[in-house]
Amino acid sequence: MSSAYFHHTPDTAATFAQNLRENSVEYVRFELPDLAGLSRGKTVPMNHVESYTLNGLNLYGGAVTLDSASTPIQGTGYNEDINFADCLMVPDPDTVTNVPWLANTARVICDTKWYDGRPQPAAPRTVLKTLLSTAAAMGYGVKMGHEYEFYVVDAATRQPLYQGNPIFVTSLIHQHPALDKLMRVLDASGVDMITANGEYGPSQWELNFAAADGIKAADRAFVFKNTVKEFLHTEGLIATFMTKPYKGLAGSCSHFHISLYSLATGENVFLDKSDKDGMSLLMKQFTAGILEHAAAAQAIWNPTPNCYRRIRPHMFAPSNVSWGVEDRSASVRIKASKDKRQHLEVRVPSALSNPYLTAAATIAAGLLGIQNESQLAPERAGLKENDDSFTKLPTEMHEALAALQADTAFTHMLGSEFVNVFQKVKTAEILRLRDDIPAAETNEYFDLY
């Protein structure tokens, strides 16, 4: 849906409910992505689905702004400012998928609006829709793909399913039947799986799914992440997208792939076959925009203090503002296929990032590059992480939030209401976690001093 939310009529609500009944659905999970990309919502018996579809399903209005401890943060405009009022969840019929591990159950992704009909500008799905509309007004559609790494451990022991760093070793990841089941469950959930492999950590996995146009790409990533966690829990396992769960081991990232195409012709506007790397002027401007606003986007790509523990030398976690053709050491990697697949990959985001916001931040920065006709600096030779002349990205959450606040063009593109909410929630999260005493500090100082 291109609008901020779907306006249901009695006919569309009835058709939506009838289609579900014809597929033997008995319960529907009305779900919305919160600020972290976590699924929140309510489960509705089938006999009430049509009414809630037509009129909206009431939910606490600050649900999209809750922090990682589900705390209503003050000053966002969504909580105490409005007496903790309700909003309405409005289902998007295009997003219905099965929940294969629950009998006769479907999920539908919802947008949210206030009772007076105004959409919630801080809702991540609305933020992305707004940026997609901006791109469309410029004549461009957006094709995107997310890839995620995550660790899997036994729920009882919290131990990995296997040890070592056997990246791409087929036999180990297939020793546990849960992976094979998970791939089938994801396909049945509407996630178009394309590859699965072991990653560079003990029982760290990477499962990839096909790219898609517009909001569908982020919806697919939302379903993917929440399905992985929820289904593997039924198998006695915990999947964690926590960016750096273990000291000294690989962090988990979320590389983000994107290209633009002409809405008029359908052609990939990032492609110029006369260029040695297949890069059109538009692609160069888009890339330059990402680099110009990367410091501000860092807060969204890496939205928790833990994310910054991943940024270490020689761990394929970019720490500077750089680009390169087929270069895994750069922040932006140009996938120079020189055909219709030409696109770029942003390698900075962590696995904990929200897919809607990762996409929105990247699009906002890239479109600013096009609008301002930004110039892409020549590619430099060698490993980018070894080149100290590149501008460094923020390495702490508070630094990233300061960079976000300072970049007025970028924050205007994302929307001031969203940025205010994001700043307030993340600042509160930092302060709350800062008050905890890490075990490392106790081990260091308690006995000796």
| pLDDT tens digits, 59-81 | 999 999 999 999 999 999 999 99
- Is 268 a member of any domain? yes
Judge if 346 and 216 occupy the same domain: yes
**Mean pLDDT value across residues 1-27:** 85
Q: What pLDDT score does 397 carry? A: 96
**Structure-block tokens of residue 22:** 């014809």
Q: What pLDDT score does 206 carry? A: 94
**Mean pLDDT value across residues 139-152:** 97
- Is 87 a member of any domain? yes
Judge if 215 and 358 occupy the same domain: yes
Q: What pLDDT score does 13 carry? A: 96
Please state, for a pLDDT cut of 90, what percent of the chain lies above it. 86
Domain boundary among 65, 100, 120: 120
Judge if 372 and 283 occupy the same domain: yes
Q: What pLDDT score does 292 carry? A: 98
- Is 371 a member of any domain? yes
425-449 per-position pLDDT tens digit = 999 999 999 888 888 888 888 888 9
Residue 315 has pLDDT above 80, yes or no: no
77-91 per-position pLDDT tens digit = 999 999 999 999 999
154-206 per-position pLDDT tens digit = 999 999 999 988 899 888 778 888 888 999 999 999 999 999 999 999 999 99
Domain boundary among 120, 147, 162: 120
Place of tokens 């729920």: 155
> What is the reported pTM?
0.96
Q: What pLDDT score does 55 carry? A: 96
Quote the number of domains for the chain. Answer: 2
Tell me the pLDDT band of 5, cut-offs 50, 70 and 90.
low
Residue 100 has pLDDT above 80, yes or no: yes
Selected residue with higher pLDDT from 387 and 271: 271
**3-state secondary structure labels for all residues of the chain:** CCCCCCCCCHHHHHHHHHHHHHCCCCEEEEEEECCCCCEEEEEEEHHHHHHHHHHCEEEECCHHHCCCCCCCCCCCCCCHHHCCCEEEEEECHHHCEECCCCCCEEEEEEEEECCCCCECCCCHHHHHHHHHHHHHHCCEEEEEEEEEEEEEEECCCCCECCCCCCCCCHHHHCCCHHHHHHHHHHHHCCCCEEEEEECCCCCEEEEEECCEECHHHHHHHHHHHHHHHHHHHHCCEEEECCCCCCCCCCCCECCEEEEEEECCCCCECCECCCCCCCECHHHHHHHHHHHHCHHHHHHHHCCCHHHHHCCCCCCCCCCECCEEECCCCCCEEEECCCCCCCEEEECCCECCCCHHHHHHHHHHHHHHHHHCCCCCCCCCCCCHHHCCCCCECCCCHHHHHHHHHHCHHHHHHHCHHHHHHHHHHHHHHHHHHHCCCCHHHHHHHCCCC
Tell me the pLDDT band of 409, cut-offs 50, 70 and 90.
very high
Judge if 146 and 282 occupy the same domain: yes
- Is 438 a member of any domain? no
Q: What pLDDT score does 3 carry? A: 45
Selected residue with higher pLDDT from 316 and 395: 395
Q: What pLDDT score does 440 carry? A: 87
> Which CATH number covers residue 419?
3.30.590.10
Q: What pLDDT score does 2 carry? A: 40
Judge if 259 and 175 occupy the same domain: yes
Selected residue with higher pLDDT from 3 and 307: 307
> Which CATH number covers residue 107?
3.10.20.70
Rounded to the nearest integer, the mean pLDDT of the chain is: 94
Q: In angstroms, rounded to a whole number, what is the distance separating the alpha carbons of residues 28 and 42?
A: 8
Which residues contact residue 139 at a Cβ distance below 8 angstroms, ignoring those fewer than 6 apart?
A: 262, 263, 264
Q: Name the least confident of 19-23, 222-226, 441-445.
A: 441-445
- Is 447 a member of any domain? no
Residue 70: give the domain boundaries. Answer: 10-120
